[in-house]
Amino acid sequence: MPRKYDCGTIVKGTVTGIQGYGAFVALDESTQGLVHISEITNGYVKDIRDFLKVGDKVEVKILSVDYANSKISLSLKATKEEPLLKKQTTMKVPKPASDGFNTLREKLNEWIDQSQGHNAAK
C-alpha cells in the first residue's frame, strides 16, 4: 500500500463492496479502506444498503492507517456537518405569567395566616 494517505485527510473513493459490518471503498487502484457501519452516519444504521450501493462515489475521512497490515479505517459521517443536537444552542425560557406562581404565593401566605388564626382559636 502506498504511503500517501494521512489520518484526517478527506479523500474521494468508490464503494466496491458492502458487508453487514461496513462498506469497502477503493481510494485508488491498489488501496482500499473500510467504512465501519458506525461511521456511515450519525444515528442508527440497520442496513448499510439504505445509505450506499456498490459503485457510489463517496467522500470519506481517513481515521487511521495501519501500513504494516495494509488497513485503512474510513468515515463517511466525519465528512458531514455535525447534527444540530451536538451544536451548542441557546434556549430562551419564557418568563412566567404574572398571575401564575405569584398568585399562588400570595394565596399560600393567606392560607397560612388563616390556618394560624384557626389554630389560635382552638
- Mean pLDDT (the chain) is 82
pTM above 0.85, yes or no: no
Residue 87: the pLDDT is: 53
Q: Where are the domains of the chain?
A: 10-80
Domain 10-80 has CATH 2.40.50.140: yes
pLDDT single digits (tens) 21-61? 999 999 998 899 999 999 999 889 999 999 999 999 999 99
Rounded to an integer, what distance in angstroms lies between the CA atom of residue 92 and that of residue 76?
34
Rounded to an integer, what distance in angstroms lies between the CA atom of residue 98 and that of residue 58?
56
- Residue 24's closest CA among 68, 78, 74? 74
